[in-house]
Amino acid sequence: MSTYNTQDDPLALASNDDPWRYGWRYVRRPGAPEDAPLEQVPLTLEDVLHPEVGDFIVHSDRHETDRMYLTQILRAQLEPQGQAVVLSDVRVAWDHAELRAHGPDVMVIPGLATRQDWSTFDVAAEGQRPALIIEITSPETRKNDLVIKVDHYAQVGIAQYVIVDTIGRKPVRRLRLIGYRLVGGRYEVQPCDEHGRLWLDVAHLWLGIRGDHVVCYDAQGNELGDYVTVVQAAEAA
């Protein structure tokens, strides 16, 4: 399996003195009575890798802006024709006995025509699996996306795995794209084109970077704007 160097330009991480840097969940302590209040406990890096429903995981504004943009664009491209459903920040339980659930930023699941109100998408129960997963790294947790999930997503048969990797945040956010395609049960690196873009197979779209954010383009190279851009264009028409 080809891999990227994940160590260049290391980012300043949140202080290890901050126990809440990854997020938190509410739990009932073992042996506590049923009417006892839930206790807020900090998440570990392992918890972020395998989240539970109800976990609060800390993300930056830019991370969320990119996640929402990608979700909107992919839904507009695929869902009206019933080609696939696009889920964002939804837990996915695998049909693999040795792998616990993950919580991808964005996943595209062909073979389903209607999106339901899933908090966990159960691959075995639904009979379908994601064909594309996109993860947007955060400095504190990027090892999960760059290393561990590459192995895990190959094991569960995700055809294409794309990482939007934050490689710098000061003075401005800097990004790179990393792509993998599943070949013979193992991931091979998907190179970017001459414009630094990655082709998203199931969506028939290009994914690129402009400045500090991601941008999608159709097959002809036309940029697909976010909702704000669409509204502004409509008002100007």
Phi and psi dihedrals of 71, rounded to 5?
A: -65, -45
Is the pLDDT score of 54 beyond 70? yes
Cα separation, 235 vs 194, whole angstroms? 35
Position 117, amino acid = D
Q: Which pLDDT score, from 0 to 100, does residue 1 have?
A: 42
What does the pLDDT look like over 1-50, one tens digit per residue? 444 444 444 444 445 679 999 999 999 888 888 888 999 999 999 999 99
Task: Give the dihedral sign, CA 19/20/25/28.
Answer: positive
| Domains parsed from the chain with CATH numbers | 59-236 (3.90.1570.10)
* Rounded Cα–Cα distance for residues 181 and 60 (Å): 28
Q: What is the pLDDT of residue 4?
A: 46
The structure's pTM equals 0.90
> What does the pLDDT read at residue 114?
95
> How far, rounded to the nearest angstrom, does the alpha carbon of residue 206 sit from its chain's CA centroid?
17
CB–CB of 131/201 below 8 Å?
yes
Using one digit for the tens of pLDDT, what is the confidence trace for 115-166?
999 999 999 999 999 999 999 999 999 999 999 999 999 999 999 999 999 9
Written as one letter, the residue type at 23 is G
Angle at 106 between CA 102 and CA 109, to 5 degrees: 85
- End-to-end distance of the chain based on CA atoms, in angstroms? 50
- Residue 15: per-residue pLDDT: 54
Q: Is the separation of the CB atoms in 69 and 61 below 8 Å? A: no
Taking only the tens place, the pLDDT of each residue in 60-98 is 999 999 999 999 999 999 999 999 999 999 999 999 999
